[in-house]
């Protein structure tokens, strides 16, 4: 009996139909890894030429022992790191490269100093024991020692090393650019086969390099400037959300992929995506949008509907300052309106608390009741709260030498933001609204 049951279960596994909860969990895990953890795609998307170029270059270093240097340049979220990782993955499929290539990953945010960078290089090459307590006269000596130590027993040349410098522009701010100079120097001379790959978001990165460093660089740059059309963008959305072939529940995956296709063809969803496409084409903002949509997928609602996309889009495009204005007290809102009037009349010149209070008092005099007739210290507290929220900022100057009431400030909001916020403000008294909309305050 037992044997039969196991044979039956094996046969069933082929056409597995998971319970819906399990499927949803799988979908979430898989897509979250793709959107949040930057799981590598199987093939490069839209960057085939750059992929080929970089792969060829690194292969020459890894297998043929040729020294190279290259910079990958592109705006934030364009997919530079993803490109490099895909290339490395494809490179290491080659047995010979896998055997002999060494990698050193440095990041400009972490290794803020050449000394720290050198320690990190030593650590990643597993040469701490070899270096021991040796003291070196200069950076160059140290680096030469490390590369020398990489020489294998009988081979005359050392193993190829791949240096990956993330946030390359930050390395250019180190003292004398020692690390860059030495690495690029080694890549130009025939000391050891190294490849230096820099990743940066600054297009003008070459201007940051010193002359001697720039001359040793091969000036090879790979640009990832996205030239996507809207159709390609829609395709990308679809591919990011689709489930792969090897999903356990085949039928569920099919239904899911169909629903994604329907989503991309829906008119309102397309409008929202077009708006996103017009503001930025990079991967990251797309991932944020899709992540917000994905978080609304539950067992009760196992698909992504156009309404989800619209809601996610609204969350992405909301004006943060308007949100903060919504939560101010009436007194603080009145002060903002007084500042707006001052800006209108005096064309954006800075103001201080006394002027704002004066303007506010003119409004109060017109009203019959004195509901908002607060004392100066209470107004001061409200004013300081606005300063803490950075809705007003002091004009640079000696803050210590002037009294608080007389310190000049600027308003960091513009006319339309204030008027829009007023429309949405809860329980806004009509006279305050009218005051805001009147021309001369």
Partner 1 sequence: MTSVLQHPGYDEEKLRRVTEQTPCREAQTGLLLSLMGQPQQYSYPSIFVYGHRASGKSHVMQVLLKELELPHATISCVECVSNALLFEKMLLSLFGCEAASLLPRTPSLSDFVRVYRHQCVDSPATQTRYIVMEKAELLRDADVNLLPALLRLQELVDDNLTVILLSEITWDKFRPNTGCYEPLVLHFPDYSKGDLQQILSRDSHPSYSADFYSSYINILLGVFYSVCRDLRELHHLAALNFSKFCEPLAEGKVKESDTHKLWRNIEPHLKKAMQTVYLREVSSLQWEQMQQMEEKEAGALKGLSAHTHVELPYYSKFLLIAAYLASYNPARTDKRFFLKHHGKIKKTNFLKKNEKTSNHLLGPKPFPLDRLLAVFYSVVDSRVAPSASIFSQISSLVTLQLLTQVSHDDQLDAPKYKCAVSLDFISAISRTVNFDIVKYLYDFLDPDTAASQEEWVNRGYVSRVRDHPSR
Residues 90-149 within binding reach of partner 1 (CB under 8 A) = 107-113, 116, 119-120, 123
Rounded Cα distance, 191 and 182, in Å: 11
Of residues 149 through 178, those in contact with partner 1 by CB under 8 A are 169-170
Instruction: Decide whether 57 or 409 has the Cβ nearer to partner 1.
Output: 409
Of residues 345 through 374, those in contact with partner 1 by CB under 8 A are 346, 352, 354-355, 358, 361, 365, 371-372, 374
Distance of closest approach, residue 62 Cβ to partner 1, in angstroms = 23
Instruction: Decide whether 229 or 365 has the Cβ nearer to partner 1.
Output: 365
Distance of closest approach, residue 5 Cβ to partner 1, in angstroms = 29
Instruction: Decide whether 135 or 318 has the Cβ nearer to partner 1.
Output: 318
Single out the residue of 7, 36, 190, 399 in contact with partner 1 (rule: CB under 8 A): 36
Distance of closest approach, residue 249 Cβ to partner 1, in angstroms = 16
* Site for partner 1 contains 291 (CB under 8 A): yes
Q: Which stretch binds partner 1 (CB under 8 A): 57-65, 157-165, 180-188, 292-300?
A: 292-300
Distance of closest approach, residue 60 Cβ to partner 1, in angstroms = 28
* Site for partner 1 contains 248 (CB under 8 A): no
* Site for partner 1 contains 288 (CB under 8 A): yes
* Site for partner 1 contains 327 (CB under 8 A): yes
Instruction: Decide whether 218 or 240 has the Cβ nearer to partner 1.
Output: 240
Instruction: Decide whether 39 or 52 has the Cβ nearer to partner 1.
Output: 39
Instruction: Decide whether 45 or 167 has the Cβ nearer to partner 1.
Output: 167
Of residues 186 through 205, those in contact with partner 1 by CB under 8 A are 201-202
Single out the residue of 1, 13, 318, 439 in contact with partner 1 (rule: CB under 8 A): 318
Q: Which stretch binds partner 1 (CB under 8 A): 74-82, 128-136, 240-248, 413-421?
A: 74-82
* Site for partner 1 contains 292 (CB under 8 A): yes
Distance of closest approach, residue 141 Cβ to partner 1, in angstroms = 22
Instruction: Decide whether 33 or 344 has the Cβ nearer to partner 1.
Output: 33
* Site for partner 1 contains 317 (CB under 8 A): no
Q: Are 96 and 155 in contact (CB under 8 A)?
A: no
Rounded Cα distance, 352 and 409, in Å: 6
Q: Encode 116-132: b = buried (16+ Cβ within 10 Å), e = exposed.
A: ebbebbbeebebeeebe
Of residues 209 through 238, those in contact with partner 1 by CB under 8 A are none
Rounded Cα distance, 194 and 228, in Å: 34
Q: Which stretch binds partner 1 (CB under 8 A): 154-162, 174-182, 268-276, 295-303?
A: 295-303
Of residues 416 through 435, those in contact with partner 1 by CB under 8 A are 426-427
Distance of closest approach, residue 306 Cβ to partner 1, in angstroms = 18
Q: Which residues pair with 183 in a beta bridge?
A: none
């Amino acid at each position: 009996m037992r044997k039969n049951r196991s044979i039956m279960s094996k046969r069933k596994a082929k056409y597995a139909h998971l319970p819906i909860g399990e499927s949803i969990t799988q979908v979430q895990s898989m897509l979250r890894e793709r959107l949040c953890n930057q799981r590598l795609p199987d093939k490069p998307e839209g960057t085939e030429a750059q992929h080929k170029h970089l792969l060829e270059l690194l292969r020459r270093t890894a297998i043929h022992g040729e020294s190279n240097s290259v910079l990958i340049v592109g705006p934030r979220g364009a997919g530079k790191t993803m490109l490099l990782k895909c290339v490395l993955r494809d490179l290491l499929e080659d047995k010979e490269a896998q055997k002999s290539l060494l990698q050193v990953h440095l990041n400009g945010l972490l290794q803020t100093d050449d000394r720290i960078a050198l320690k990190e290089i030593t650590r990643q090459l597993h040469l701490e024991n070899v270096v021991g307590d040796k003291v070196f006269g200069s950076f160059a000596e140290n680096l030469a020692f490390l590369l020398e130590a990489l020489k294998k027993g009988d081979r005359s040349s050392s193993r190829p090393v791949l240096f990956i410098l993330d946030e390359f522009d930050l390395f250019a701010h180190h003292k004398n650019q020692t690390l860059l100079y030495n690495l690029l120097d080694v890549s130009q001379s025939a000391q050891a086969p190294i490849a230096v790959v820099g990743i940066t978001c600054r297009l003008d990165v070459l201007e940051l390099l010193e002359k001697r460093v720039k001359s040793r660089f091969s000036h090879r740059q790979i640009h990832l400037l996205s030239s996507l059309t809207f159709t390609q963008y829609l395709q990308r959305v679809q591919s990011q959300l689709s489930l792969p072939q090897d999903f356990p529940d085949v039928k569920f995956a099919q239904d899911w992929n169909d629903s994604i296709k329907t989503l991309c063809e829906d008119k309102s969803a397309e409008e929202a995506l077009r708006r996103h496409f017009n503001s930025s084409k990079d991967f990251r903002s797309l991932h944020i949008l899709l992540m917000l949509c994905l978080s609304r997928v539950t067992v009760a609602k196992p698909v992504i509907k156009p309404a989800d996309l619209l809601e996610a889009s609204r969350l992405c495009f909301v004006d943060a300052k308007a949100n903060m204005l919504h939560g101010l007290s009436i007194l603080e809102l009145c002060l903002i309106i007084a500042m707006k009037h001052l800006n209108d009349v005096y064309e954006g010149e800075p103001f201080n608390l006394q002027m704002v209070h004066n303007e506010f008092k003119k409004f109060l005099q017109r009203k019959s009741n004195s509901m908002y007739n607060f004392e100066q210290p209470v107004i001061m507290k409200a004013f300081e709260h606005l300063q803490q929220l950075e809705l007003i900022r002091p004009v640079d100057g000696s803050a210590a030498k002037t009294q608080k009431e007389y310190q000049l400030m600027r308003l960091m909001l513009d006319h339309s933001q204030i008027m829009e916020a007023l429309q949405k403000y809860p329980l806004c008294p009509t006279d305050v609204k009218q005051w805001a909309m009147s021309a001369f305050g």
